[in-house]
């Protein structure tokens, strides 16, 4: 979340409860560590931002969290939501549990476990992510 949408927290919680979500966490979106500091201060004027450059490689998003857009679109993480490969379904059309255990999530988890699976790379955003490329 950013300063531009923090006023929508209560509405987001209400929507999540209506959809049967038992826990909601608000996080900052992904931004490159080398972005200029003045750009960050525009997006996050109330806090100091730091980057953990010592973070261990790996991705836990596919096992612990999901990102649901305002229109019900489900994406696996906070990477660019405009990328067509990010579309993992829509919670307004399909129950979350079916999407979470469905084909796109299973393919992404397989790719994370075995970055050499080139047959899975082109169809999902995880195939273009440095984490699944073994970087």
Does the pTM of the predicted model rise above 0.75? no
DSSP bridge pairs for 71: none
Asked if 12 contacts 24 with a C-beta cutoff of 8 angstroms, the reply is yes
- Residue 10: in which H helix or E strand, if any? helix 9-18
Burial class (CB within 10 angstroms; exposed 0-12, middle 13-18, buried 19+) of 78? middle
For residues 110 and 116, give the distance between their C-alpha atoms in angstroms, rounded to a whole number: 10
Mind spelling out the 3-state secondary structure of 42-66? HHCCCCCCCCCCCCCCCCCHHHHCC
Question: Using alpha carbons only, what angle is made at residue 47 by residues 81 and 72, rounded to the nearest 5 degrees?
Answer: 25
| 135 has a pLDDT exceeding 50 | no
For residues 35 and 81, give the distance between their C-alpha atoms in angstroms, rounded to a whole number: 19
Per-residue pLDDT tens over the stretch 78-128? 766 666 667 889 999 999 999 999 988 888 888 777 777 766 666 677 777
Distances (CA, A) of 84 to 49, 107, 111, 113: 29, 16, 18, 22
């Amino acid at each position: 979340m950013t300063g531009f949408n923090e006023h929508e927290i209560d509405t987001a919680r209400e929507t999540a409860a209506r959809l049967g979500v038992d826990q909601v966490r608000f996080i900052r979106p992904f931004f490159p560590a080398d972005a200029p500091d003045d750009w960050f201060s525009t997006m996050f004027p109330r806090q100091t931002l730091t980057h953990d450059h010592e973070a261990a490689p790996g991705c836990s998003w596919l096992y612990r969290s999901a990102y649901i857009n305002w229109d019900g679109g489900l994406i696996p993480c906070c990477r660019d939501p405009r990328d067509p490969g990010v579309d993992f379904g829509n919670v307004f059309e399909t129950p979350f549990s079916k999407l979470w255990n469905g084909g796109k999530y299973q393919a992404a988890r397989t790719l994370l476990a075995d970055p050499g699976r080139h047959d899975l790379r082109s169809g999902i955003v995880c195939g273009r992510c440095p984490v699944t490329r073994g970087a």
